[in-house]
Structure 1
Amino acid sequence: MLKLMNAQACMEQLSAYASSALIDEAELTPKPGLVDLQSNGAHDDLNVELMRRSAFALQPTFAKMAEAAYGSKPSMQLRERLAAIGRDGERIMLEATGGVNTHRGAIWALGLLTAAAAIAECGDPDFLIGFNPPPLQAGFQSGGVETPPDSPMFSHAERVRCPADIARIAGAIACYPDRFAPASNTHGQQVQRQFGAAGARGEACQGFPHVLRLGLPALLDARSRGLSETCARLDSLMHMMSHLEDTCLLYRGGRYALHTARQGARNVVSLGGTSVKEGWQALEQLDRDLLAQHASPGGSADLLAAVLFLDRIKGGSRLSTRQSGKG
């Protein structure tokens, strides 16, 4: 864990981790359909510099969330306080980007995890004994691929225990209602109604299963096999994309775009991942396929940032993706 001395140090460290995770996600290259150092992906209004600017601007927001949660326990009052800070963070983000939504989904996911990490840093996690998240919904169960017994999800289960506690705390917070939430009709809400997708709230309330069961274990597994940090992070993204019912894809291209992304990511994984020639070529083909549909897996990108945030907390690699290449 962080082993920090006080609330000030906790909020400063966690907010730095959150902001860095957003920048690392944005700079990871190449990412199919997403903004990276080489391309704007399927986006007409985004670029990597805008993503960096947004990430830096949001660091004080994450600091406020950590401060609000430090010494607390999950409650409706904390949920509503974090939501108010998050809404203010959205305003700051839009001011920094000239009105472009760069990180609304990430504010939700990383905000919850930042608050949960602050609670875990100084609190007694005994309250989690009574917390049982809802059953996994179709977005995770219907991934279409059985988990093999030698999967990194099993071989690295012990190493994700600390992040799992943080994710469970975040889930406990997310399950509380926000009585002051303004009436809205976001893209995610539209897709949830149309397709019955769990969305970002469902993922959080379930304790971030794609992060803990797919993304983080895949990252650790790739590193244990000596792969570059770039390939480890790309493989993490592919494992989550292969199962996630990504509402960004559903909004942009419906079920067909979601199928394209899932099947393409599974193909990368089945060929051995991005560290081998065939897997890398499959990654490039997936990028072409998603660009042809003007589809971007933004939900998967948000969860990759969550993976990188939790990885920093547990003492994972600090290596920038720009410092290591394919293979």
Structure 2
Amino acid sequence: MKRQIALKGLPSLSLSLNVPGFPKSNATVKAFFGYCLQEFKYALKANQVNLIETDSIEIVDVAGDFYLVPCYPGRFTLKEMKVVCEDFEQNHPLGRFIDADLNDQDGVSFSSGKSKLCFFCLERPAIECRREKAHEPEELRSFMFLKMDYYCRQQHEAAMIKKLSSFAQQAILSELSLTPKPGLVDKFSNGSHSDMNYQTFIDSTAAISPWFAELVHEGFSFNDNDLTKALPLIRNIGLRMESAMYEATQNVNTQKGIVFLMGLSLFACGRLFSQTDQFSIEEFRGIIQDICKDLVSKEMTDSLKMVKSHGEDIFDQHGFGGARAEAESGFATVFDFGLPRLAGVAKLNDEVLLQTFFAIAANNNDTNILYRSNAEVSGVFKHLCKNALADFNDQNYSAVIDFCKSENISPGGSADLLAVTIFVWSVIKANGQLGFTN
């Protein structure tokens, strides 16, 4: 293969692994090679090495995983290109397992003449240990596979943290940007709020987003079978998020509810994906339910508590548990009313999101509305949402908006549940389960 490329008068770059014994590839090695190959390509492109990827060759089999790609030297000498390969090996945490080689225009391996240390003992040149058979092949293989497996798990976690954090931010911004919304802040209206606007929410979202990664990481790292012990960990991060939110908004509470609900969602996803590559609605909900077991009775029935939150006051008056009850149920409103509206949807749009919002709001005892008004107003609001959902037209839609304006109510709890619904939809879609099967 190198000779064929050389016939075109071009040098080539190759990547392989130093796996002793046979077979030289298995599931772990294949996964590790995949990560290394991606990183190798990024390193070459970052150094402006011109790869001819249309003519590249990749082989993955028991004889060993291998990648070969011709390249244009351009302004680089072969020695400079070899330095790029050596730097890649030296800077990679498992670089001694990797052979990043350069072949000249004749297909001959270009060597810098430097010797490499044995990756096992790290004391003698690798060529000496290999020649003298200083280490048993199975000992070397076990050592390599263990290191590779740990590296792959780290890379998997890092990739999931980035992806899930992105989904969370996207979900919050998608809910915020949905315009117009009844009683809620959107791009063109403050809704029923005099102390916040669209920019306030942008600032708030930017302030809380850096903590998303830590929530997912905590889920990956948590190893106690008693998931109720996870709640203080999630709340610890949540309190820091709230502090960042208040600092960004000059002490306006824009997103305290979503901090709690999205915090649970991110942790639960981290926990789930630490054990499997497949998202399961049943398992996701089970994790949420286990974390929040008996949460309402534990936290909202203390008659001796001197200072109570708005949610606790609403529970005393109306018996609705708000975000705590929703979490304790494993997000029943999200999965029973919100997510079914998105089943089979390949790409989100305003119309489908508004219908999803109405489906949630029509079935949610929103404590934000109850705090601002009473049960009668809440009932009328839910009835109007059902009408808008049953016959989605401008008249019914405007009726909900006008009612929220006249009663000065804001269905913030339903908005938070819409954001969670969008987040879960994104995770399911990325996992290839548009049918939303359990």
User: Is TM > 0.5 for Structure 1 vs Structure 2?
Assistant: yes
Q: Structure 1 pair 184/307, CA: closer, same or farther in 2 (3 Å)?
A: farther
Cross-structure match for 2:287: 169
One-letter code aligned to 1:102: T
1:179-222 deviation digits (Å, cap 9, x = unpaired): 9999852211111111110211011110111100110111226x
* TM value normalised by structure 1: 0.76
Structure with greater contact order relative to length (CA < 8 Å, sep ≥ 6): 1
How many Å apart are 1:270 and its aligned residue?
Answer: 1.5
One-letter code aligned to 2:385: A
Q: Structure 1 pair 10/89, CA: closer, same or farther in 2 (3 Å)?
A: same
Q: Structure 1 pair 180/124, CA: closer, same or farther in 2 (3 Å)?
A: farther
| Matched position secondary structure for 1:70 | helix
Q: Tell whether 2:322 aligns with 1:202.
A: no
Conserved 8 A contact 1:71-1:123: no
Q: Which has the higher helix share?
A: 1
1:52-107 deviation digits (Å, cap 9, x = unpaired): 11112111222211111114255233211111111111111111111010110001
Cross-structure match for 1:17: 167
Alignment match of 2:237 (pick from 85, 91, 96)? 85
Q: Which shows bigger deviation, 174-183 or 93-102?
A: 174-183
Cross-structure match for 2:270: 118
One-letter code aligned to 1:10: M
Q: Tell whether 2:425 aligns with 1:307.
A: no
Q: Which shows bigger deviation, 60-69 or 240-249?
A: 60-69
1:197-256 deviation digits (Å, cap 9, x = unpaired): 0211011110111100110111226x37x9x71111110000011110000000001112
Q: Tell whether 2:214 aligns with 1:96.
A: no
Q: Structure 1 pair 303/4, CA: closer, same or farther in 2 (3 Å)?
A: farther
Segments of 5+ residues of structure 2 without an aligned counterpart are 1-152, 431-438
| Matched position secondary structure for 1:315 | helix
Cross-structure match for 2:43: none
Cross-structure match for 1:247: 367
One-letter code aligned to 2:245: M
* Cα-Cα RMSD: 2.6
1:1-327 superposed matches below 5 A: 5-72=155-222, 75-123=227-275, 162-175=280-293, 185-220=308-343, 223=345, 229-271=349-391, 273=392, 279-315=393-429
Q: Which has the higher strand share?
A: 2
Aligned equivalents of 2:397, 2:299: Cα separation in 1 = 42
| Matched position secondary structure for 2:208 | helix
Conserved 8 A contact 2:229-2:291: no
Residue-pair matches, total: 270
Conserved 8 A contact 1:76-1:177: no
Q: Structure 1 pair 250/4, CA: closer, same or farther in 2 (3 Å)?
A: farther
Q: Percent identity?
A: 29
Aligned equivalents of 2:290, 2:418: Cα separation in 1 = 21
| Matched position secondary structure for 1:42 | coil
| Matched position secondary structure for 2:254 | coil
Q: Which has the larger radius of gyration?
A: 2
Conserved 8 A contact 1:260-1:290: no
Conserved 8 A contact 1:113-1:167: no
One-letter code aligned to 1:106: I
Q: Structure 1 pair 164/292, CA: closer, same or farther in 2 (3 Å)?
A: farther
Conserved 8 A contact 1:80-1:180: no
Conserved 8 A contact 1:171-1:207: yes
Aligned equivalents of 1:119, 1:70: Cα separation in 2 = 5
Aligned equivalents of 1:4, 1:47: Cα separation in 2 = 40
Conserved 8 A contact 2:238-2:259: yes
* TM value normalised by structure 2: 0.58
